[in-house]
Homo-oligomer: A and B are copies of this chain.
Amino acid sequence: MAILDAITVAANQQLLEVGPADLSVRAVARELGMASSAIYRYVSSRDELLTLLIIGAFDDMADVVEAKTRRVADLRRRWKAIGLACREWALDEPQRFALLYGSPVAGYAAPQDTIAPATRIPNLLIGILQEAKVETTVPAFSARVARSLKPALSDVNTWASLSTRDFSDSAFALGLMAWAHVIGSISFELFGHRHNVVGDSMADRRAYFEFELDVLADLMGID
């Protein structure tokens, strides 16, 4: 459907200038030179359009990160490359990042179609744990914590090669922490919570972020 593509392209273009909450169906229609009511032939609601944009953004981000990091052999370097690539994509397209990891649009419930593309980058991290055969354990990791992660550890469809993994449960728990931290740190930077905390220059921001990636690598026992 070429017209649907045109709609999502125009909508994504609008996301370059305005946040997800202010994305306007009427503005997209104007951009395409058609009546706003015509849009609803292809998209049932503004929320459905947002869902399409979310899936597209997850895939775009994963494509970029994957392309940039697949060929990095050294595991620690690859981990850092993934984190840095995530941050770069977010800085390039802050509104789309906010669409993925910011506050969900009011009353919006993520449909099933979004969870698969959302796990692509975390899967890269799992791949690293896989190759590293991480066995490090951490004092705080208990049977109770392991049990709280069981849903993930048993879902083979979304989490790649989790059935034949050879890293420990505690490594998985730490990997989860690392991933949450990467997204959380990028959100902090993007949403203005680094003001008066870390230097405003790009170099300072990047230096601190890279420091975090190193600490996380140590934490996970990579390298």
Q: Are B101 and A193 in contact (CB under 8 A)?
A: yes
- Assuming the contacts A103-B103, A105-B21, A187-B187, asked whether A215 and B211 have C-beta atoms less than 8 A apart, the reply is no
- The proximity string for A residues 182-223 relative to B, scoring 1 for CB distances below 8 Å and 0 otherwise, is 011101100111011111100111011001101100110000
The distance in angstroms between the C-alpha atoms of A173 and B219, with both chains bound, is 15
- The proximity string for A residues 154-196 relative to B, scoring 1 for CB distances below 8 Å and 0 otherwise, is 0100100000000000000110110011011101100111011
Q: Are B20 and A103 in contact (CB under 8 A)?
A: yes
Q: How many residues of A contact B (CB 8 A)?
A: 63
Q: Which residue of B lies closest to A152 (CB)?
A: B197
**A34 contacts chain B at the CB level, 8 A cutoff:** no
- The proximity string for A residues 85-102 relative to B, scoring 1 for CB distances below 8 Å and 0 otherwise, is 000000000000010011
13 contacts between A and B (CB under 8 A): A18-B106, A19-B106, A22-B106, A98-B103, A115-B195, A138-B215, A138-B218, A140-B214, A141-B211, A148-B204, A176-B197, A177-B215, A183-B188
Interface residues of A (CB under 8 A from B): 18-22, 98, 101-107, 109-110, 115, 118, 138-142, 144-145, 147-152, 155, 158, 173-174, 176-177, 180-181, 183-185, 187-188, 191-193, 195-200, 203-205, 207-208, 211-212, 214-215, 218-219
